Chain A
């Protein structure tokens, strides 16, 4: 073939090769793990997203993931082991986040995700998915890594991107030092957690154990009033998204809370009534009744309430002589953890 002729076969091969080769831009912005960008890119993207969210009055969230140690804290996360584990983490992050989300490595042990147009609950769902996908590597076996994930949402937590990342970092620390993590409650089953929380004496900034019924300061009518106050809180803020589980042993037609729920009206908070048995004559409106065929349900009263602005969990486990050992907390991580465990262990829909 003369040199004057263009060899189209070779040309198309060259084009294909060029197309398959990553562009300079892609090389610059992507790290070796695939669609995980570097810290410069994700931070720049986050800043733009914060301006966009402010301009259009929308929300967006960031999720921060940090790998701390291996072998249940016995080995520090570093070197080649950390590098190879970060590849697994990156693959999981890529699979869990949506196409519109952007993830980037802040440093050798931290990954930051920017989730556009995502509110508090949206970010919690991604966080739950992420935690669940990481379970095979964090709950048992090798490397049994200690991975902590936190989130923050614009505009609830702050108005600037930098403050938002700071807030997620602060929360990361709070989670690591929380008694949920310290007591390794995340690896336990729901009923084990309930037993642990109600069996001893716990006291902290936002959690406390107390006795109810019998001769104690709080009678069972008071526990009912707590549920009533929470429903009224939902009525005060009907547009705030949230979830409320009320465990009432058995849902009978004369359950006092039914009257308040009936008058609740339209609300963005999903209300679930949980019992071992639901009376057919019970007039349940504005709530979904859930039947759980487990006798342990009839031995306790519980309330799990989570919104963007408030969190509350109350567990009252029946003791002898119509007395109850109670635990309550306003810590959002514990409340969210209890809701997740409850949904998962009772085979309920994992929703927020």
Chain B
């Protein structure tokens, strides 16, 4: 589904770059030049190219990996590669008919022919049976009707402004729909709200379980109704970024409330903004907004406009290039196939209270989810072992935080959870007495798994230079190393962002990213 047609040039040789650039300019072909694998991936994520011309020996990321990464992203899966090599070579994952390998020396005319062919493939003109277009030209209702009447089977991918969604069809019936974290009818009805977006229908056998059993005709009617009503009422709904406050003791509310009301009230325990509540509510977005509005009108909830914090959409712990390197690391170490959807980070602490503080700080981040209840539903012991939360960083990749006790007797258990491990965070505070165990624990992880380990001091406020030096000495850190501090109170959010950014930059550092397997 390539709407933009530019050529991405990733060559290590400046001479090649200048000669190919000259040819592309003469033929008025838009192009972008990068000189290493990570930058190339960053460009690919920013805007899908029509063709990628890539040196097989590109710096940073190997050509095999680059191809894997591009193929694994649904947005760029169909982008053809032209690999430039010094001799006949194999590229793992090479797609005959789509990708091309050119061996130096090559004639410009030859490369131009291949690029032209690649751009043609990217435009979708040759794909047998594929239907491509834009929702601005053909509405989703019309499109689904066509697929329904023709009893089509396949996957309809829709690329919106922020998300990519999928609708699975079998025998003309909608089997399931997914977008971001939503699925089933909720996801399907959300597509109806998208005014524009490129779509592509690929006929292929659908093996997903049927999660929507409403006839397609009824779905279309309901989708159209929700769209109309949403357009009519959208100005009356609370703003997405508004904070929601519960004004009553929820335990005093009567039993037998409408399911949507019960669910929204339940979700307020875990989520604070309107957008989060709507996203996590299982009812269609329109119903969720309406329910929140009605509860505000009845004074059960209240809207605190202007969250005052940074725009959640702009708040990102991981840059696209880092996300790519992290995914590459997970795949490289643990993925014999590409079905790897999470990277594990150990959060080792001498006390579960520190792990709880860590989760409390992370819960301030927009993309963080935790299976534990910080408002009293979970006991402190629940933070001793197991998954304490996850952040979604790129596509379908989660970074899952996994609490483990900093106790050497538990090392065999820790080894069991090594799969998908990409790093560890060791928490310590002024009450920590087991620095010896902690340092041995750190050593085991670094030597066995070759993943980065970050020491983080947990403190209520700023720590003095003397305390910093003391922590560094006890944690066997170099004096020149920066000590990351997780603060409480109003600085909590800012400090967790700083800690996680430092950690992610360690994980995505080239020396670790290229450290290879077991």
On whether the two chains bind one another, the answer is: yes
Indicate if A250 sits at the interface (CB-CB under 8 A).
Answer: no
Report the Cα distance A156→B410, complex, angstroms: 26
Cβ contact within 8 Å between B412 and A206:
yes
Cβ contact within 8 Å between B386 and A310:
no
Query: How many Å from the CB of A77 to the closest CB on chain B?
Result: 31
Report the Cα distance A331→B386, complex, angstroms: 20
Q: A156-B336, A309-B419 are in contact. Are A225 and B413 (CB under 8 A)?
A: no
Cβ contact within 8 Å between B415 and A330:
yes
Indicate if A79 sits at the interface (CB-CB under 8 A).
Answer: no
Q: A156-B336, A210-B409, A328-B412 are in contact. Are A225 and B417 (CB under 8 A)?
A: no
Indicate if B407 sits at the interface (CB-CB under 8 A).
Answer: yes
Write the chain B residue with the least CB distance to A212. Answer: B409
Q: A233-B417, A236-B342 are in contact. Are A330 and B412 (CB under 8 A)?
A: yes
Within 8 A of B (CB), among A248-283: none
Indicate if B27 sits at the interface (CB-CB under 8 A).
Answer: no
Q: A312-B413, A329-B412 are in contact. Are A226 and B385 (CB under 8 A)?
A: yes
Chain A residues, CB < 8 A from B418: 310
Report the Cα distance A218→B409, complex, angstroms: 10
Query: How many Å from the CB of A143 to the closest CB on chain B?
Result: 36
Cβ contact within 8 Å between A311 and B386:
no
Query: How many Å from the CB of B437 to the closest CB on chain A?
Result: 11
Report the Cα distance A173→B378, complex, angstroms: 46
Indicate if A47 sits at the interface (CB-CB under 8 A).
Answer: no
Query: How many Å from the CB of B443 to the closest CB on chain A?
Result: 13
Within 8 A of A (CB), among B344-401: 381, 384-387, 400
Chain B residues, CB < 8 A from A225: 381, 384-386
Indicate if B193 sits at the interface (CB-CB under 8 A).
Answer: no
Report the Cα distance A155→B339, complex, angstroms: 14
Write the chain B residue with the least CB distance to A167. Answer: B518
Chain A residues, CB < 8 A from B334: 309
Cβ contact within 8 Å between B416 and A311:
yes
Report the Cα distance A226→B385, complex, angstroms: 7
Q: A221-B381, A229-B385 are in contact. Are A208 and B411 (CB under 8 A)?
A: yes
Chain A residues, CB < 8 A from B385: 222, 225-226, 228-229
Cβ contact within 8 Å between A207 and B412:
yes
Within 8 A of B (CB), among A221-245: 221-222, 225-226, 228-230, 232-233, 236, 239
Write the chain A residue with the least CB distance to B411. Answer: A208
| Chain A residues with a Cβ under 8 A of chain B | 57, 155-156, 206-208, 210, 217-218, 221-222, 225-226, 228-230, 232-233, 236, 239, 305, 309-312, 314, 328-331
9 closest Cβ pairs, A-B complex? A330-B415, A312-B416, A155-B336, A229-B386, A210-B409, A309-B419, A330-B412, A330-B416, A225-B385
What would be 8 A-B contacts, judged by CB atoms less than 8 Å apart? A208-B410, A222-B385, A225-B384, A226-B413, A232-B387, A310-B416, A310-B417, A312-B416
Known: A208-B409, A228-B385. 11 other contacts (CB 8 A): A155-B337, A208-B412, A217-B407, A226-B413, A229-B386, A232-B387, A233-B416, A305-B416, A310-B418, A328-B413, A330-B416
